[in-house]
Amino acid sequence: ARVAHWLKLDEEMCRLLIACGTGAGLAAIYNVPIGGGFFAIETIIGFAALKAGMMRVMNIVLSTLGVSYLATVIARVVVPDRPTYTVDWGA
């Protein structure tokens, strides 16, 4: 909040940045870039914000999906590509 105030960002831009961050976190840890982007669009931003012009909608969608994809690519260095939890079916 302090950085946003210092950069003189409006409330709408702050909401978009928070949405991108939450979607990117989800995308990175679960390796789901599209899911993270849609989470940001649906849950954090809400469809009420999407009622604006078509260019605005495209900016929001491309921002959230782009950040989610980037976070997923970066996280692949650390997050394993195998299941985190295994099920022992022989017990």
pLDDT tens digits for range 34-60: 888 888 888 766 666 666 677 777 788
Residue among 84, 65, 75, 66 nearest 28 (CA)? 75
Average model confidence (pLDDT) across the chain: 81
Specify the range with the lowest mean pLDDT, choosing from 11-15, 16-20, 56-60.
56-60
Burial 31-62 (b: 16+ CB within 10 A, else e): ebbeebbbbbbeebbeeebeeeeeeeeeebbe
Contact between 27 and 64 under an 8 Å Cβ cutoff? The reply is no
Q: What is the pTM of this model?
A: 0.71
Q: Is pLDDT of 71 > 80?
A: yes
